[in-house]
Amino acid sequence: MEIDHSNGNLNAGEIPEENPEIRAKLELLELLEHTSSDVIWIMDLQLRTVYMSPSVEKNLGYTMEEYLKMPLPERLPRESYELTQKIMLTEILPVVKGEKPDTGKPVVYEMLHKHKDGRIAWGEVSINFLYNRNGEITSIMGITRNINDRKIAQQALAESREQYRQLVEKSPDWIWEIDTDNRFTYINAVAESVLGIPVKDLIGRSPFDFSDEETVENEKAWFENLKKAGLPFSGLLQVLRDRYGRQVYLDISANPNFDNNGKLKGYRGVGRDVTEKQIALRKLERLENVKNFILGLPLFALIELDDSMEIIEWSAGAIHIFGYDRNRAMVENLFLNLWEPARRKSIIATLRRKVKSSEARTVESSNIRSDGTLIRCRWFIDSRFDKMGKFSGAFLIADEITDTFRKEHLTDGLDSFTKTAGIEIFFTDLKLNLTYVSASLSDFIGKSSDGLIGQNARKIFDVASFKRIAEQGVSYAKKNLKWSDSVKFSVKGDGWIERKLEISGLSDSSGKLSGYIFLLATNN
């Protein structure tokens, strides 16, 4: 069934005499129509529009006469026309026909209207019934209020809320709200990925329920002080434990949330997972501590260079080995001064040469101390290069090996000398423990030099020979006298063999007796 909305064009002067009630109402409406921005309209019981206030022109652009002539389907978009038909059939006509009681409450609904310029505008329609003195319904009165601005604002708010919801749900950060008891009232899904606990199980819990035992009390005290003052905060590093007991670090920022009376309702905040950053910082801190420890060691030099070969680190060991203090070495950039002039170009080339990571970067060289003394050093070199393969600096560790170098050359010379002279030689300390054994003697005895060093001399002589050595030979050597005699010593595969032995004292740089020299003839 479709309602016939014939377009009436009646005004107060044209209302029939038999409808004095309607005339009185119209007279009142005529007073209102000049001051009200709402559109006031009246329909008779055949649902014909018999009155339309002039404010329709202000709201929809049509004059009253133009609008009254328009059929209802032309005034409204299709959805609004269908809605109006439904309201009339289900809410209005049943009351007019007496099928439903009039509750006295207006029928209110919202719908779109067509504007003369082609726009669509929202209106709120409120419908009531007009009665005569006998309590009979004589007409239907409606008021249409322009709510276009409000609806646009509501839609914009709804869109904004939806955008906010999507932003919150898709945010990589933990977004939350808590009440004044520090209980979660809202948490986005990120919380579950951080703690491994479903969001539904977190609502109603306190963030401090998940704090690390070592930090929870300090975190609580810090937050409660801020909450008492109702202050915002940022940069709080909260340490949590996830469901597996692993530490999680959150960087927390939040603002207080107040009600209309200015009373604190809780806090809204954001937590950013900075666990990886904190782990990296702690590793860096440990490395820095190790570096500082190494820099303080006097045993070896640690030197760092930048891409221009400028010194940017000079350790305590570098001061000890090379004699330059830290400030002078860095200010005067004395790295190349450590090298003999003929070696300076080659060391620069070595540092700048890119090598495979598995290639050894060890260099032994003569170096120059601040007092001009030549020393021998073993260098460990770690050159660094950027992504483009350009030299970006170097890290060097130097170990002074002057004494070792001299000893190696001395022993090499002794080995050559003893072989040419037809004698074997070994040194002992004051307790007759071997400290050096010539290579040919170790071959003769059948044991390696390393295997012999540290053993007592008694193990290579027979009992009687060692007794004479300990009682006579050592006694002579202590008096700076030479002692010689025939002794028996162990030989590989031949048991004991007799040879002539000569013993003399060995003094250190201060002239103090430090051990003994044993010369053993290889032939009788």
Q: What is the pLDDT of residues 176-216, one digit of tens each?
A: 899 999 999 988 888 888 888 898 988 999 989 988 888 88
Compute the average pLDDT of residues 85-99: 91
For residue 18 the two structure tokens come to 């038999």
Please, what CATH class does the domain formed by 12-151 belong to?
Answer: alpha beta
Q: Average pLDDT, whole number, for the chain?
A: 82
The sign of the CA dihedral 58, 60, 61, 65 is negative
pLDDT score of 322: 93
pTM: 0.40
Report the range of poorest mean pLDDT among 4-13, 378-387, 419-428, 482-491.
4-13
Whether 230 contacts 206, CB under 8 Å: no
pLDDT digits over 164-180, tens only?
666 666 677 888 899 99
State percent of the chain over pLDDT 70.
83
In which band, very low, low, confident or very high, does the pLDDT at 24 lie, cut at 50, 70 and 90? low
* Stretch among 4-8, 76-80, 239-243 having the lowest mean pLDDT: 4-8
How sure is the predictor about 115, in pLDDT bands with cuts at 50, 70 and 90? Answer: very high
Q: Domain extents for the chain?
A: 12-151, 171-278, 296-400, 405-521
Distance in angstroms (rounded) separating the CA atoms of residues 359 and 350: 13
Cβ contacts of residue 95 below 8 Å, gap of 6+? Answer: 101, 102, 129, 137
Span 281-334, pLDDT tens digits: 787 777 676 666 666 666 788 899 999 999 999 988 899 899 999 999 999 999
Query: Which range (8-22, 370-384, 392-406) has the least confidence?
Result: 8-22
Strands, E, within 68-202: which ranges?
107-114, 120-131, 137-146, 174-179, 184-187
344 membership: H or E segment, kind and range: helix 344-352
**Quick check: 444 and 522 in contact, CB under 8 A?**
yes
On the question of a common fold for 12-151 and 405-521, the answer reads: yes
Q: Which of 88-97, 269-278, 487-496, 513-522 has the lowest mean pLDDT?
A: 487-496
Q: What pLDDT, on a 0 to 100 scale, did the predictor assign at position 288?
A: 72
Q: What is each CA distance from 3 to 45, 85, 92, 96, 384, in whole angstroms? A: 11, 7, 12, 14, 89
Joined tokens for residue 206: 């306190």
Nearest to 415 by CA among 440, 452, 442, 445: 440
Compute how many other C-beta atoms are within 10 angstroms of the C-beta atom of residue 305.
21
How far apart are the C-alpha atoms of 502 and 476, rounded to whole Å? 11
φ/ψ of 70, rounded to 5, equals -80, 130
Q: Which CATH number fits domain 171-278: 1.20.1250.20, 2.60.200.30, 3.30.450.20, 3.30.420.10?
A: 3.30.450.20
- Overall average pLDDT of the 389-408 stretch: 78
- Per CATH, the number for 405-521 is 3.30.450.20
- Summarize the confidence of residues 414-423 as an average pLDDT: 60
Residues in the chain: 524
User: Which among 25, 39, 139, 38 has a CA at the least distance from the CA of 92?
Assistant: 139
CATH class of 296-400: alpha beta
- Per-residue exposure over 51-61, b if at least 16 CB sit within 10 Å of its own CB, e if not: bbbbbbbebbb
